[in-house]
């Protein structure tokens, strides 16, 4: 499941995807986006994968889209590049499995945007976040104008996008972008611990919750609540609901079958 610019390995139900162009701080070019899209497709359909973790090789998570490649883009090429980036983000968001960003260093521009496409973000204390695109005469193009505002609120998103300010992990946690911050050498172990804890729960139910949360933000409250009510009741037809509730009543740990 490994490509030239994206590594992937599966262990104990956790797929770890490592973005791998460390010589340019994992800058996103066309090849990397294609490799990433391919790996996302593979892990989303691999029955051995229960949960996905994305990180970066070397000192960066992703220092943005590849400026050297983008510099010569025509508007048409920029549109195709934007489409490609959006497909990657949608691949993460619509995957029926939790995806955690383990941000090990710089997550700038497309780096912050990829992290925002994950279900939540854990960061090393060395991580840095930002949308510096206006300093290059462009705007965030992989969903940053939309997902950042949905995550940290419109005022904070405007401030970060207009100033291009780079914030550290502690500030990212304070504004609700990051769930938790760990020492750099502990980051991957802590993220795997969190992933393992999630894997003891009903993953079929978690996949349903993910879809409701992601789709619900674009619906009226009334429509989203109806969608929730239908999904809630449908889960009473799942094996996991029987397993979870029977285990509770019998004071045992549930052994979910994820269906």
User: Which residues form the catalytic set?
Assistant: 113, 133
Cβ contacts of residue 78 below 8 Å, gap of 6+?
70, 141
- Give the CB-nearest residue to ligand COA: 64
Strand partners, 122: 102, 180
CA dist., res. 57 & res. 22, Å (int): 6
For ligand COA, the closer CB: 25 or 53: 25
Least distance from ligand COA to the Cβ atom of residue 172, Å: 15
Q: What is the DSSP string of 106-136?
A: EEETHHHHHHHHSSEEEEETT-EEE--GGGG
Least distance from ligand COA to the Cβ atom of residue 82, Å: 11
For ligand COA, the closer CB: 73 or 120: 73
Place of tokens 């854990």: 122
For ligand COA, the closer CB: 132 or 202: 132
Enumerate binding residues for ligand COA (CB under 6 A): 24-25, 27, 63-68, 106, 108-109, 132-133, 136
Least distance from ligand COA to the Cβ atom of residue 190, Å: 24
Q: Is the dihedral of CA 36, 37, 38, 43 positive or negative?
A: positive
């Amino acid at each position: 499941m490994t490509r030239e610019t994206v590594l992937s390995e599966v262990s104990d139900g956790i797929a770890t995807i490592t973005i791998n162009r460390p010589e340019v701080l994992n800058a996103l070019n066309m090849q990397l986006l294609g490799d990433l899209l391919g790996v996302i497709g593979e892990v989303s359909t691999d029955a051995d994968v229960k949960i996905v973790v994305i990180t970066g090789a070397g000192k960066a998570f992703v220092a943005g889209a590849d400026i050297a490649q983008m510099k010569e883009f025509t508007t048409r090429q920029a549109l195709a590049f934007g489409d490609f980036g959006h497909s990657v983000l949608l691949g993460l968001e619509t995957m029926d499995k939790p995806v955690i960003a383990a941000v090990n260093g710089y997550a700038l521009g497309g780096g912050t945007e990829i992290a925002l496409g994950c279900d939540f973000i854990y960061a090393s204390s060395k991580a840095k976040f930002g949308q510096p695109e206006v300093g290059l005469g462009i705007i965030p193009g992989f969903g940053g104008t939309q997902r950042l505002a949905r995550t940290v609120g419109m005022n904070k998103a405007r401030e970060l996008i207009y100033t291009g300010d780079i914030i550290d992990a502690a500030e990212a946690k304070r504004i609700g972008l990051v769930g938790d911050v760990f020492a750099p050498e502990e980051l991957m172990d802590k993220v795997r611990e969190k992933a393992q804890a999630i894997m003891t729960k009903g993953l079929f139910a978690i996949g349903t919750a993910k879809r409701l949360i992601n789709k619900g933000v674009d619906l009226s409250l009334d429509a989203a609540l109806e969608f929730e009510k239908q999904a809630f009741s449908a889960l009473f037809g799942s094996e996991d609901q029987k397993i979870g509730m029977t285990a509770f009543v019998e004071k045992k740990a549930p052994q979910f079958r994820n269906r």
